């Protein structure tokens, strides 16, 4: 949750108006409005006064924004690992294609593809384990909120999604092989 939304929620929960909060922490009502609408952020002194006013800690007041910053970093890593996995698959198919022409360096392409695949799979699973997100729903929720929420029937969903991904990958692989073989005949 963003700090502006958190400030607004805390103010409303305490039944205070923007004017009342502004008077208690010695700022204008417009300043409170700007904070709540994310046009600006409070300085450290104002955050401390707000934490005291709402009987919360500074950490609880700003933690949501820190979680979102971490989530954005993790999302960026996930995207790069996914791109790496796709590149590794391209190397494997390139190796298959070159092998049909009798090129010896197709083995290098295979090995490069498999090595990249192993590396990016390891990094992706390490990140999933670190953040404890395993299902597609959990990953999507984490990407939206920066928070972790375990799915119901998590074990069953992980098995289903893994089997579905393997089946889909196999089907795509077979289709790509047939396409490559078809074009190589000409």
Place of tokens 């799915």: 151
Q: Is residue 110 located within the same domain as residue 24?
A: no
pTM exceeding 0.95: no
Query: What is the separation, in whole angstroms, between the first and last Cα of the chain?
Result: 58
Q: What angle do CA 136, 127, 171 make, to 5 degrees?
A: 45
Claim to verify: residue 22 and residue 76 sit in the same structural domain: no
Summarised one tens digit per residue, pLDDT across range 34-80 is: 988 888 888 888 888 888 888 888 777 776 555 566 677 777 888 88
| Contacts of residue 151, Cβ cutoff 8 Å, sequence gap at least 6 | 135, 137, 138, 157
Q: In terms of domains, do 91 and 145 share one?
A: yes
pLDDT digits (tens, 9 = 90+) for 125-175: 887 777 777 776 777 777 666 667 777 777 777 778 778 878 887 788 778
CA Rg, the chain, in Å? 26
Q: Is the dihedral of CA 173, 179, 185, 186 positive or negative?
A: negative
- Identify the CATH number of the domain in which residue 40 sits: 1.10.260.40
- Give the count of domains, the chain: 2
Domain range for 11 is 3-56
pLDDT in tens, 88-139: 888 887 777 777 666 666 777 778 888 888 888 888 788 777 777 777 677 7
Pair 131, 167 in one domain? yes
């Amino acid at each position: 949750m963003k700090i502006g939304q958190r400030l607004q929620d805390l103010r409303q929960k305490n039944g205070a108006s923007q004017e009342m909060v502004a008077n208690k922490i010695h700022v204008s009502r417009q300043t409170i409005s700007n904070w709540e609408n994310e046009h600006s952020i409070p300085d450290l002194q104002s955050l401390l006064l707000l934490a005291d006013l709402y009987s919360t800690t500074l950490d609880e007041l700003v933690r949501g924004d820190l979680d979102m910053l971490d989530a954005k970093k993790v999302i960026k890593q996930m995207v790069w690992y996914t791109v790496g996995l796709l590149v590794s698959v391209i190397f494997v198919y390139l190796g298959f294609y070159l092998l049909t022409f009798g090129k010896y360096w197709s083995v290098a392409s295979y090995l490069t593809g498999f090595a990249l695949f192993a590396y990016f799979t390891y990094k992706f699973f390490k990140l999933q384990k670190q953040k404890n997100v395993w299902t597609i729903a959990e990953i999507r929720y984490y990407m939206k909120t920066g928070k972790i929420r375990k799915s119901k029937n998590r074990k069953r969903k992980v098995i289903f999604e893994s089997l579905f991904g393997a089946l889909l990958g196999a089907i795509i692989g077979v289709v790509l092989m047939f396409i490559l073989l078809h074009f190589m005949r000409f």
